[in-house]
Amino acid sequence: MKLTKSFNRSLWVFHLNTGSCNGCEIEIVATICPRYDPERFGMKLVGSPKHADVLLVTGPVTKKMAAKARRVYEQVPDPKVVMCIGTCGQSGGVFYDSYNLDGPIDQVLPVDVYVPGCPPRPEAIIYGVVKAQEKLERLEAAQ
C-alpha cells in the first residue's frame, strides 16, 4: 500500500450510515463543528467515497445495508482507514440480540480503529483519529 502525501496532511472523511439511530452522526457533526474545529487541519466531510481517505462507519449493519456497505468500502480508493464509531457496530450496542442485523461491522468490512461509546464524545472520536494516524505511522515505519 503506497501511502500518499495526503496522509501527512489533511484527511478527507466519508461517513457511511448502516442503519444507525443517528446519535453517532450527530456526534460526528459535532466534531466537525467549530468548537473542536478539525477543519483547521483540512479535515472535511466529502460527499463521495471516491474522494475519501477515511471511512467512518456508524450503526449496526442491517441486512439491507450489508451489501451496500461492502460496495461503498470497495469504492474508497487505497490507501484508506476504516473507523467504526459507536458500539452498535462493535458488539451490537442496544441491538445486541436482533433478528435483522448482519453482525458487527468487522464481519462485513475490515476495521482499523474502533471508537466505542453510545454515542462517543467528540473528544473520543478525535482520539480515534489520532490513533488512526499513529497506526499509519507504524505501518509506514514497518514498510
Number of residues that bind other proteins (CB under 8 A): 36
- Binding segment for other proteins among 23-31, 32-40, 64-72, 116-124 (CB under 8 A)? 64-72
5: contact with other proteins by CB under 8 A: no
Residues 11-40 that bind other proteins (CB under 8 A): none
First-last CA distance in the chain: 9
Q: Please select the residue that binds other proteins; options are 10, 12, 92, 121, rule is CB under 8 A.
A: 92
Q: What is the largest CA-CA distance in the chain?
A: 44
Any idea what DSSP says for residue 139? H
Place of cell 461517513: 15
Q: Please select the residue that binds other proteins; options are 103, 116, 124, 127, rule is CB under 8 A.
A: 103
Distance, CA of 74 to CA of 21 (rounded, Å): 24
